[in-house]
Every structure is written in C-alpha cells, then in structure tokens.
Amino acid sequence: MTRQQVRTADLSRPSGHFSQAIVSEARGRLVFVSGMTARGTDGSVVGPGDIEAQTRQVCDNLVRAMEAAGGSLDDIVRVDVYVRNMEHFEQIHKVRREYFNSPPPASTLVEVTKMVSPEMLIEINAIAVVE
C-alpha cells in the first residue's frame, strides 16, 4: 500500500512521531483494530508503572493484530492513543519510532483519567488499509 505524508507550510511541524495527514489509496481492505493495551498473551499487564515497557507491549499487540488481519504496521494510516499521563509524550514517541516506519500514521493523543485496569498507562487503536 502506498502512503503519502501531507506536508504544508500552513501547519506547524508535528511535535512527535506522527503525520499531520496521510493520503492512502483505499484499494484493499480496511482494518479497524480495537484499543490495544499492555496485556500479554496470558492476560496480565506487562510493565506496571513503566510507560516504555507498556508502549512496547501495546505495539507488539498491534503487530500481532495486523499480522492476523494479513497486514503490518506499515499499513496503519491512523492511531488514537489514550494515556494516563501526558508527561509521557516523549517516551511514547521514542518507542513509536522503533515500530512505525516513515511516514508515520496520522495520530491523536489524549490524556484520560482511567483505563480498564488501574495498572494500565496507555491504549492505542488503529485504522489500516491492507492490500
């Protein structure tokens, strides 16, 4: 799938590892990935209190979901990221750079007061176009 990052002098430069907008020819299947959390395959929360460990687990879960759908992280065009603490912004984007190639997906990051488990620090859902 071809993705093109939209850039314009009329918008500020992204403050993290994301694109302001992505253009993707929608030839293929749309994949909607539900919110992935830092649960391991055994159901336990990985890395309690450690945002980098939890972000890696979330990204690993995204990889598994995308592979099961016949795609990869490179097919993801948009993510919504929910965090318990906005001060983790830099650490989250550090890990995202390890997983998402350029151009990175369009993204929204929102701080929330609670998650399904008090140990969880991050949740990411995604939309992908898989050819």
Identify the CATH number of the domain in which residue 116 sits: 3.30.1330.40
Does 64 reside within a domain? Answer: yes
DSSP 126: E
Total count of domains within the chain:
1
- Token pair, residue 51, equals 């945002």
Let me know: does 36 contact 127? Beta carbons within 8 Å. no
Could you give the CA distance from residue 113 to residue 109 in angstroms, rounded to a whole number?
13
Closest CA to 47 of 7, 39, 61: 39
Handedness of CA 112, 33, 119, 57 (dihedral sign): negative
**Whole-structure pTM value:** 0.85
SS3 71: coil
Could you give the CA distance from residue 99 to residue 57 in angstroms, rounded to a whole number?
11
Does 22 reside within a domain? Answer: no
| Percent helix, strand and coil across the chain, each to the nearest 5 | 25, 30, 45
* pLDDT by 10s per residue, the chain, length 131: 677 777 778 777 776 777 777 677 667 889 999 999 999 999 999 999 999 999 999 999 999 999 999 999 999 999 999 999 999 999 999 999 999 998 899 999 999 999 999 999 999 999 999 98
Name the CA radius of gyration of the chain, rounded: 15
Q: Residue 78: give the domain boundaries.
A: 28-130
